[in-house]
Structure 1
Amino acid sequence: MSAQMPVLKEPGRKRMGSRKLLSILLLLFMALLTVLFFNSSISKISEIQIEGNRFAAREEIGQAAAVVVGDAFFRTSSQAIEGRVMTLPQMEKVTVTKAFPGVVKITVKEYPVVAFELSAHGEMTALLSNGTSVNADNDQLLLVDKPVLSGWSDDDPVKEELTKQLGKMGTKQLSDLSEIIPIPSTAYPDRIVIYTRTKFEVITAVSVLPEKIEALNAVIETQEPGKITMLLADTYVPFHTESSENMDSNQKETTQ
């Protein structure tokens, strides 16, 4: 007796058409929302904040950043804006942060002022630690703790190197320097004379200044005012000794 084979049912067809339609509608909805978002005011830059600037004008920083109110908020990255602003010669560091919705904050740190210079026209110029010169008519009060450079030409490469060396000095060291004048020689084209607020006269050279600065500080802190020479050899002569020698010389001339 043969067994009867069971009847096999055909698998039901999945309703793929409705799922595809739902996916397409969802994608269209997301695309519509994206278009609406990027065309709305919420996706635009509504405010640009600039902080930390002293010598670079806000307009100058804004032009370098190349972003304005109304630009797309996500069009330009923070790193790209930082790179643009860093092209300004005054800038040591730039940080850009974005706060949604619409706020772009640019925080700058400019190179510090290490000296001042008075032009032939009476304009006060601030010299930054990277050699950059900026107008400083509103910062004349800072002359009390920064040296004044006198007798330098505008394109003197020694002056740029000098500002870099001054930038490496501590605040106390820098505040004691009153005036720096170039006195080049054949042996030392970068020779300078420094007058300090503690009444010392220092003859040295920009190229040897980094290795001589500690010894210079030691003399100024422990000795009475005098003339210091720091080149190939270091010498120190108190001013009262020079005065005595001059008096003795004058007396000898009188008696002869």
Structure 2
Amino acid sequence: MSAQMPVLKEPAKKRMGSKKLLYILILLFLALLAVLFFNSSISKISEIQIEGTRFVSKDEISKTSGILIGDAFFRTSSKTIEERVLTLPQISKATITKVFPGLLKIQIEEFPVVAFELSKQGELTALLSNGTTVEADNDEMQLVDKPVLSGWTENDPNKAELTKQLGKISSKQLSDLSEIIPYPSTAYPDRVIMYTRTKFEVITAVSVLPEKIEALNAVIETQEPGKITMLLADTYVPFKTESLENVDSEQKETTQ
């Protein structure tokens, strides 16, 4: 007697419709949250802090950055804001930091002052290391610890190059220079005369200044005040010797 085989039931099909509906509801919920977030005050810039300003106003930096209170926090990248701020000629470096929620920090670093210039009207202006001219403040006018440029034309390219070279000199070396005057020649169109606070007169050229500055300091620190020439060849003559030579030449002229 043969036994009957049991009837196999087909496995029940899983219902996919309920899971799809769940996914759709989650997506709609997330979309609703995103809409609420980007329309709330928490997604807006509520404060802008600007630090490091000296020659450029905070209003000018804020305007150049293109960012205002109430703007979307994530709309403009920090890199874009930095590039905008760096278009200001006084600024050498800008660091942009976003602190959620709502705080934007702009930390700037300006080019250093390397010299001052006396205008025809007798006003003192400051020159930055990139050649930019800015208005000198009262504190700087009372204590001028940088060289004063006099006799230069406004658009002289050698003046712009001079400020760049002065930016490479240490503060101590720079503070000893009192005045720099253009003194061009055929061989050296960028030749200058520099007067130091230690009573030296130096003839050199803008193009050779960086390589001559250490030798100049060595002479100033070890020799009596005198006239120094630092071009193709370097020479030094103390003022006492130069005065004696002038006296001798005058005596010779009177005896002739």
Equivalent residue for 1:54?
54
Deviation of 1:254 (Å)? 4.2
Equivalent residue for 2:188?
188
> 1:132 aligned to 2:118?
no
SS in 1 for 2:63: helix
SS in 2 for 1:217: helix
Deviation of 1:255 (Å)? 4.6
Q: In 2, are the aligned partners of 1:111 and 1:128 still within 8 Å (CA)?
A: yes
> 1:120 aligned to 2:123?
no
Deviation of 1:124 (Å)? 2.0
Q: In 2, are the aligned partners of 1:124 and 1:140 still within 8 Å (CA)?
A: no
SS in 1 for 2:232: coil
Q: Distance in 2 between matches of 1:115 and 1:139?
A: 15
Q: In 1, are the aligned partners of 2:46 and 2:70 still within 8 Å (CA)?
A: yes
The 5 A counterparts of 1:1-256 are: 1-141=1-141, 143-256=143-256
Q: Residues 20-75 of structure 1, C-alpha deviation per residue, up to 9 Å, x if partnerless?
A: 22221111111111101100011000000000011111111111111000000000
Q: Distance in 1 between matches of 2:7 and 2:124?
A: 104
Aligned AA (1:176):
D
SS in 1 for 2:93: strand
Identity of aligned residues (%): 77
Q: Residues 204-245 of structure 1, C-alpha deviation per residue, up to 9 Å, x if partnerless?
A: 111111221111111011001000011111110000111122
Q: Distance in 2 between matches of 1:108 and 1:83?
A: 12
Aligned CA distance change for structure 1 residues 126 and 224 (closer, same or farther; 3 Å)? same
Q: Distance in 2 between matches of 1:253 and 1:206?
A: 38
SS in 1 for 2:144: helix
Q: Residues 136-174 of structure 1, C-alpha deviation per residue, up to 9 Å, x if partnerless?
A: 143434753100000001100000110111000011110
Q: Distance in 2 between matches of 1:188 and 1:44?
A: 58
Q: Distance in 1 between matches of 2:243 and 2:131?
A: 39
Q: Which runs of 5+ in 2 are unaligned?
A: none
SS in 2 for 1:207: helix
Q: In 1, are the aligned partners of 2:151 and 2:181 still within 8 Å (CA)?
A: yes
Q: Which runs of 5+ in 1 are unaligned?
A: none
Aligned AA (2:135):
N
SS in 1 for 2:165: helix
Q: In 1, are the aligned partners of 2:47 and 2:104 still within 8 Å (CA)?
A: yes
Q: Distance in 1 between matches of 2:125 and 2:225?
A: 30
Aligned CA distance change for structure 1 residues 142 and 111 (closer, same or farther; 3 Å)? farther
- Structure 1 segments, 4+ long, off by >4 Å, are none
Aligned AA (2:170):
G
TM-score by length of 1: 0.95
Q: In 2, are the aligned partners of 1:125 and 1:136 still within 8 Å (CA)?
A: yes
SS in 2 for 1:145: coil
Deviation of 1:108 (Å)? 0.3
Aligned length: 256
Q: Distance in 2 between matches of 1:97 and 1:142?
A: 36
Deviation of 1:14 (Å)? 1.8
Q: In 1, are the aligned partners of 2:124 and 2:141 still within 8 Å (CA)?
A: no
